[in-house]
Amino acid sequence: MIPFWKEHQEISAFLEQVQVEMKTCLYIDNNTISEALQNFSVQGGKMIRPALFFLFAGMGARQSQIDNLVKVASSFELLHLATLIHDDIIDDSPTRRNFPTLQNLLGKDTAVYAGDFVYTVYFQLLAETMNGTQLLSANAKSMKKILMGELIQKDQSFVVNVTVYNYLRAISGKTAELLSMSCCQGAYFGGFDETEQKIAKRIGRNIGLAFQIYDDILNFSVELNNEKPILTDVQQGIFTLPLLLARDKAPEKILPYMQQAENLSLNDLYRLADLVKSTGGLHGAMNIAERLTNKALSDIQQLPEGQNKKILAKATKKLLKRAY
């Protein structure tokens, strides 16, 4: 049972089927690797992508349709999983969501191939569920955008004059694309018309952008005792929205920290976090995230009436109004 969705039994039941499907697909004739991958696939996440997909595609669908939807939803979660496995290698993270990362369990080398293997499982599920539909190319393009987002973010790491536009472009690919795809393709499978599919796409995109911005705000929120790591982005040269807004307001205060990003002590980082707050960087980022959230909520209002719509609005608020 995934805590985030516990109030919604139909969604919870669907997500449990997605977990079973993912575990089946990740079976490989090697116990250590298979178990590590299977556990990693179901550990701790909110499964936002399959849930959003289902909210558009499947509430109230028959079981015969559900089986197919489970596969599509699993493919999206697996694509996400593959990027996480490689992200953890690049960040050298020992843990994710309080569990050991695959690199930590299996070593870097096996983790690189394990991530590749998960991409192949994603592809296999698409070949099973979307062969002959226009969605196949859409998925290929989305996957390309996601990886371009990762490449761009990596390429602009430690670049002190990276712009807000660069940042938004990177997170559009890295995070928003897959959420956008989950909503849009959910709408397709749910029989929505093309205009509604476009609205769904925009909803996913805005939820994705807001979600990533809140995540980046959390990385600067030292007062909160939260489960996410704090102040790690700057050290890795990933300059996110709160910092960029602070830099644009008070470059003389912020730039020296950015220029020394790799060598900042924990005390430096705390001082920088204070500065990002006092110069209005956090506040500015929150404003932008709220505007994106409100856009998503107003788009949700345009959808046909129904139970799904209510849950979608509620979940969006819950997801994007975490306490700061």
What does the binding site for a copy of itself look like in residue numbers (CB under 8 A)? 28-30, 32-33, 82-83, 86, 89-90, 108-110, 112-117, 119-121, 123-124, 126-128, 131-133, 136-137, 139-141, 143-144, 146-148, 150-152, 154-155
Q: Tell me how far, at minimum, the Cβ of 134 lies from a copy of itself, in Å.
A: 8
Q: Tell me how far, at minimum, the Cβ of 226 lies from a copy of itself, in Å.
A: 26
Of 147 and 218, nearer to a copy of itself (C-beta) is 147
Picking from 269, 282, 232, the residue whose alpha carbon sits closest to that of residue 96 is 232
By the 8 A CB rule, do 118 and 37 touch? yes
Q: Tell me how far, at minimum, the Cβ of 321 lies from a copy of itself, in Å.
A: 32
Beta bridge pairs of residue 99: 96
Q: Tell me how far, at minimum, the Cβ of 48 lies from a copy of itself, in Å.
A: 21
By the 8 A CB rule, do 137 and 113 touch? no
Q: For the beta carbon of residue 241, count every other beta carbon within 10 angstroms.
A: 25
* Three-state helix/strand/coil letters over the chain: CCHHHCCCHHHHHHHHHHHHHHHHHCCCCCHHHHHHHHHHHHCCCCCHHHHHHHHHHCCCCCHHHHHHHHHHHHHHHHHHHHHHHHHHHHHCCCEECCEECHHHHHCHHHHHHHHHHHHHHHHHHHHHHHCCCCHHHHHHHHHHHHHHHHHHHHHCCCCCCCCHHHHHHHHHHHHHHHHHHHHHHHHHHCCCCHHHHHHHHHHHHHHHHHHHHHHHHHCCCCCCCCCCCCCHHHHCCCCCHHHHHHHHHCHHHHHHHHHCHHHCCHHHHHHHHHHHHHCCHHHHHHHHHHHHHHHHHHHHHCCCCCHHHHHHHHHHHHHHCCCC
Q: Tell me how far, at minimum, the Cβ of 180 lies from a copy of itself, in Å.
A: 16
What is the maximum span of the chain, computed from C-alpha positions, in angstroms?
62
Q: Tell me how far, at minimum, the Cβ of 125 lies from a copy of itself, in Å.
A: 8
Of 55 and 121, nearer to a copy of itself (C-beta) is 121
Q: Tell me how far, at minimum, the Cβ of 26 lies from a copy of itself, in Å.
A: 11
Q: Tell me how far, at minimum, the Cβ of 147 lies from a copy of itself, in Å.
A: 4
